[in-house]
Structure 1
Amino acid sequence: MNKKDNFKYKQTALITGAANGIGYELAYIFAQNNYNLVLVDRLEGKLQEIAQNFQEEFSISVKYIVKDLSKATSPEEIFQELAQDNIKVDVLVNNAGFGTYGLFNETSLTDELEMLQVNLVCMTHLTKLFLKNMVEQGKGKILNVSSAAAFQPGPLMAVYFATKAYVLSFSEALANELEGTGVTVTVLCPGTTKSAFHERTGMADSKLVKGKRMMDAATVANIGYHALMNGKTIVIPGLINKLMAKSVRFIPRNLVTKIVRNMQEDK
């Protein structure tokens, strides 16, 4: 039985941004639970290594697709490649995303347009492409990775916070639309998490991050996975993050924005 045939006999999870952090940890959990995997990322070497290790350790099939999700053509290319291989996606995990840090007037327009493409457009496009078959089959699950940043404006990361607010709003609305179809949508909203994200964005020295205890990516992924399996719509890992997300409803918006600005600053 060849690799393509193997995908017929187990459920398959597609995970974007699967080479590192929460995406990798989610892939590991799905592999442990006997899912075949489709892993998408730009880092070909990491994907090759993960695919080989998971196939040997868990006796599953792993297909990896090397894509730059900031390219507008990537979602359709992923969809068509899987259609050609007759691979049906049972669980879609839209995890890929990145941020930029600094005053909007000074940050890179190129970087922010690519962020919008990855964090918003690609997620929406992939969901549109794979959702139709899920609804037709009467089953399926979608996990969109947002952030605790989704619940308030974020000075010094204005575009990133706004993208995560979109992910939250989109996911909640879609979950409502899909009630009774057998398809569920879960949105994962973690707070600051141990990963290379903070170094990449340049905010490692901010008051929000420096010297703070952070939840590790494996714990966040585990919480997100179980919420997804239980059909929960919104999951916010960590009591403090839950309280902060709820408290912003009762604080004037201008004050919330000032508080976030203070937390984001590096001095």
Structure 2
Amino acid sequence: MEGLKTALVTGASRGIGESFARQLAAQGMDLILVARAEDRLQELAAELSAAHGVGAHVVACDLSVAGAANQVWAETERLGLEVDLLVNNAGVGRQGPFAELDHDFQAAMVRLNVDTVVEMTRLYLPAMRARRRGGIINVASNAAFQPVPYLAVYAASKAFVLHFSEALAEEVGPDGVWVMALCPGPTDTSFWNVAGLWQEQRGWMTPPEKVVSSGLRAFRRRRAFFVPGLVWAILAFAASRLGPRWLVRRIAGRFFRFG
């Protein structure tokens, strides 16, 4: 991507994060890959470095743990790496009634989906502004546009990411830094195994490669948020602008109640 040399991608070991790593490496960007699965990250880093001649560094870290963002930042500082593009992709969700889901898991979900996004942004944004060059892509969700019963915490966390990203785009765009929320609909990744939804039939879901390629095009066009896929974009617009909120949440609740 023009003017951007090094990208840091969280949740890079699989799914959307892995697709970001592959496509950014193919565009010639050096990479910093962050996730828990160190062996998988090392394998991916070696593959992309050999295939595209880019630098690829690995930071193995559980970003759902308090203080993890500082650990990542300290490692990039130690290595002397400047992050031009930050992709906050790591996230998790789980389907079920809020009152019955494990509290510790939901607390970790908020730390990963919300706190870590804010902290990573806080740590890497100042240098981007000082250079007057940089970008941040925060991966939200189509669920960000409406309340979603039985995915209550997950959807609320992604609504935060969407609004946070749009606000930052307005704040720091004049400083040469662009921020975008990527809001995909259901994507064919292992996310659904953890979420407990649609674990077998996924042929109707969007491939992560398509989500990322269209998302990067939207980022280059300076979109503050982007929903990949016409159908999902229409549904997001309808849910947030057209339907009565009581009806939207009723439909969403029936859709997600049984997975």
| Structure 1 position 241 matched with structure 2 position 235 | no
| Structure 1 position 125 matched with structure 2 position 119 | yes
Q: What residue number does 1:226 align with?
A: 217
Q: What residue number does 1:101 align with?
A: 95
Counterpart of 1:237, as a letter, is P
Name stretches of at least 5 consecutive residues in structure 1 with no aligned partner. Answer: 1-8
Question: In 2, distance between residues paired with 1:227 and 1:16?
Answer: 20
| Count of residue pairs brought into register by the alignment | 256
- Check conservation: 1:10, 1:36, Cα contact below 8 A: no
- Check conservation: 2:4, 2:85, Cα contact below 8 A: no
Write out the 4+ residue segments of structure 1 that deviate beyond 2 Å after TM superposition: 209-212
Greater mean alpha carbon deviation, residues 218-227 or residues 196-205: 196-205
Q: What residue number does 1:176 align with?
A: 170
- How far 1:211 sits from its partner (Å)? 6.2
Q: Counterparts of 1:61-72 in structure 2 under 5 Å?
A: 61-72=55-66
TM-score, normalised to structure 2, is: 0.95
SS in 2 for 1:193: coil
Q: What residue number does 1:136 align with?
A: 130
SS in 1 for 2:110: helix
RMSD (CA atoms): 1.5
Question: In 2, distance between residues paired with 1:90 and 1:182?
Answer: 11
Q: What residue number does 2:246 align with?
A: 254
SS in 1 for 2:20: helix
Question: In 2, distance between residues paired with 1:229 and 1:33?
Answer: 13
- How far 1:117 sits from its partner (Å)? 0.4
Identity of aligned residues (%): 36
Gap change, CA 1:174 and 1:10, over 3 Å in 2: closer
- How far 1:240 sits from its partner (Å)? 1.0
- Check conservation: 2:89, 2:139, Cα contact below 8 A: yes
- How far 1:229 sits from its partner (Å)? 2.3
- Check conservation: 2:149, 2:257, Cα contact below 8 A: no
- Check conservation: 2:4, 2:84, Cα contact below 8 A: no
Q: What residue number does 1:216 align with?
A: 207
Counterpart of 1:126, as a letter, is M
SS in 2 for 1:47: helix
- Check conservation: 1:10, 1:34, Cα contact below 8 A: no
Q: What residue number does 1:12 align with?
A: 6
Q: What residue number does 1:3 align with?
A: none
| Structure 1 position 190 matched with structure 2 position 181 | no
TM-score, normalised to structure 1, is: 0.93
- How far 1:263 sits from its partner (Å)? 1.1
Q: What residue number does 1:35 align with?
A: 29
Counterpart of 2:91, as a letter, is G
Counterpart of 2:213, as a letter, is N
- How far 1:212 sits from its partner (Å)? 5.9
Name stretches of at least 5 consecutive residues in structure 2 with no aligned partner. Answer: none
Question: In 1, distance between residues paired with 2:57 and 2:112?
Answer: 21
1:182-220 per-position Cα deviation (integer Å, ceiling 9, x unaligned): 100011000001111112211126xxx956611100000
SS in 2 for 1:96: coil
1:85 to 74, 79, 84: 79
1:47 to 41, 49, 71: 41
Q: What residue number does 1:150 align with?
A: 144
Gap change, CA 1:173 and 1:10, over 3 Å in 2: closer
- Check conservation: 2:4, 2:134, Cα contact below 8 A: no
